Amino acid sequence: MPIQDAALIQAWTQVLTLSRLRPGQSVTVLTSDGTHPQTLRCALTALALLGATVCRLDLPPVNGEKSLSRDPLAYLGTTPLTGHAPAIAALKASDLVLDLMTLLFSPEQHEILQSGTRILLAVEPPEILARLVPTMEDYQRVQAGIRLLQDRRLMRVTSAAGTDLRLPLGEYPVTGEYGFVDQPGRWDHWPSGFVFTWPNEGGAEGRIVLDKGDILLPQKSYVTEPITLTVTAGFVTRIEGGAEAGMLEEYIDSFGDPEAYAISHIGWGLQKRAHWSTLGLYDREASIGMDARAVSGNFLFSLGPNNEAGGSRTTTCHIDIPMRRCNVFVDDLQVVAEGRVVESLMAEDVRARAG
């Protein structure tokens, strides 16, 4: 059902307060043609109530003729900020940017963050934002997940469906998304709630079996028949299965870039208020699927770029694949058991005990 402006203004107020917005701080609201009008309206109201100095920067969309989908994550080429020095300067001069447009995987975003500006992305429908408004509990769960993943040397993922994947770790940072930006130069995404890193270059090996009910994004579809991905030296080298496997391979091939087959970020969901079924209740153009990305106990991996972690891959293809009912191990410690977070690990730092 639709949500009242009052509820969404309250949600924005909570997020902005957690993001340490202070009266007089400068906030730029970044918008484009796809920005939800209620999200924008309520964000501006909450900012005014909190005493921020606000401006709106509206930029025309790009890449529509190249992308196979209207999803903002379906094609990661140039952004509306590419080559736009005045706009970049305005964002770098802001204390906080509310990204209601989607700047992900862009060098311009890196440049803005390096200036100390905080960036919060919020592009899901208003009712999803309100249901998954971040809390300090989300922050604490993600911090616990970061501690579990920090300084590990191997992630292993298995499932009854046949997944057996080994992912050596250590070359890239561990990070987490908890839905607000409380530090200078921080980027985050509302809604969220997961922890992730990237495997060592060329190190991922094994087999991934996507089972019925797993999710492909940006296709925004539930898998209806098993799809087997063979992973060799960090890349998917074979995709086997029926019609859906063929369509997945055809989609990746449409980008004409071998780097699109590289294993990118890997991790697991921690958001207890997210639901696997949500994707099937929305029009495909309405949501980008953050429930599936964040739902507690998923294994989430992606294919494509790693420039967000400081890597060199900048392919325009990015696919996120949340999976259910997996077992996730970091070194010898099991953190997800058959699709459920091992909750006993969430309240303690177990690195010393795990050896």
In tens, the pLDDT along 234-244 reads 999 999 999 99
Average pLDDT, the chain: 94
- Residue 354 pLDDT: 39
Q: Is 133 exposed, middle or buried (0-12, 13-18, 19+ CB in 10 A)?
A: buried
Helices (H), the chain: 5-18, 37-49, 85-92, 107-114, 126-131, 136-149, 243-253, 290-294, 351-354
Residues 308-335 pLDDT 10s? 888 888 899 999 999 999 999 999 999 9
CATH architecture of 5-131: 3-Layer(aba) Sandwich (3.40)
At residue 284 the predicted structure's pLDDT band, cuts being 50, 70 and 90, is: confident
Least confident of 154-163, 216-225, 304-313: 304-313
- Residue 351 pLDDT: 42
Looking at per-residue confidence, does 110 or 347 come out higher? 110
Interval 110-136 mean pLDDT = 97
* DSSP structure class, residue 262: B
Let me know how long the chain is. 355
Interval 107-120 mean pLDDT = 94
Looking at per-residue confidence, does 61 or 170 come out higher? 170
Tokens of 9: 């203004």
Phi, psi of 332 (to 5 degrees): -100, 10
pLDDT above 70 covers a percentage of the chain that reads 98
> What residues does each domain of the chain span?
5-131, 136-354
Distance of CA 52 to the CA centre of its chain: 27
On the question of pLDDT at 348 being above 60, the answer is: no
- Residue 177 pLDDT: 98
On the question of pLDDT at 352 being above 50, the answer is: no
Contact (CB, 8 A) for 243 and 270: no
Q: Is 214 exposed, middle or buried (0-12, 13-18, 19+ CB in 10 A)?
A: buried
Distance of CA 75 to the CA centre of its chain: 15
* CA pair distance 195, 159, nearest whole angstrom: 20
Interval 85-102 mean pLDDT = 96
Least confident of 26-35, 38-47, 79-88, 219-228: 79-88
- Residue 355 pLDDT: 37
Q: What angle do CA 146, 320, 8 make, to 5 degrees?
A: 75
Report in angstroms the alpha-carbon separations of 311 from 20, 89, 150, 198, 201: 30, 25, 19, 10, 9
